[in-house]
Amino acid sequence: MIPLGDENPTLRTPWMTWLIIGVTVAVWMTVQGAGVGDALPASVCHLGLIPGELTHQARVGMQVPLGDGLACVITNSPINKFTPILSMFLHGSWGHLLGNMLFFWVFGNNIEDSMGPGRFLIFYLVCGLVAAGAHVLVDPASPVPTVGASGAISGVMGAYLVLYPRVRVNMLFIFVIFFKVFAIPAWLVLLWWFFLQVLAGLPELSRMRPDVSGGVAVWAHVGGFLAGVLLIKLFENPRLVSRRAEIREIEHPRRVSW
């Protein structure tokens, strides 16, 4: 399922959402070399979140293969303490970047519109930090670098679930060569996504089955999502939320939901 948009009008231009997308894409194109050459693995290694470096449980000098004869070496560099934030603006591939930015745009513009740009930026970063903390907590000695905005974006999705559960999201379903768009209530889309993250992450809690998630930091997704659910009421602007509800009812009268 791929989200294409929603039936949730905005009252103001979501310039902070655009700014975060712009900065993230700019980092990909410049710092990470658009995924070409050695810039990508170097950025992932030096600026990505490595739990073992933060907790000092990974041995300094330890090497983690990154493919093509490259390896990431564990260090005790001062920059390591900033990687929980820096890693939010890094990605591992074009697909990783574009997928995250699509989800962020579909759900982020409405959350920004519900709290204002300044609060939204803080909310985004806080959810990303909580997501990073959840990832480190699950595997504190991991020497594997992790990058991506998905933890912070998961927080935005959690906030959307609380504020706009009945808003319909246009989801693209692809089955072999068949394509179909369905308008589905946000609560169903988001809870199903959350369920899949928890399901994928459960084996990671067993010491007998490490690294079964295929390199995806699913517990960062879970932690970010729960942070969004729990923190949204602290960050929302009730006046903006109420005004948005009025506009949405005018443009999209209530229909029978699932």
| DSSP conformational letter for 175 | E
Which residue reads 């574009």 in tokens? 98
- Please name which of 106, 86, 88 lies closest in space to residue 97, comparing C-alpha atoms: 88
Per-position pLDDT tens, the chain of length 258: 788 888 888 888 999 999 999 999 999 999 999 998 889 999 999 999 999 999 999 999 999 888 777 889 999 999 999 999 999 999 999 999 999 999 999 999 999 999 999 999 999 999 999 999 999 999 899 999 999 999 999 999 999 999 999 999 998 888 767 788 889 999 999 999 999 999 887 776 665 444 433 456 899 999 999 999 999 999 998 888 877 666 666 665 555 444
What domains can be seen in the chain, in order of their start residue? 2-251 (1.20.1540.10)
pTM confidence score: 0.88
Cα Dmax for the chain: 61
Q: Which residue type, as a one-letter code, is found at position 67? A: G
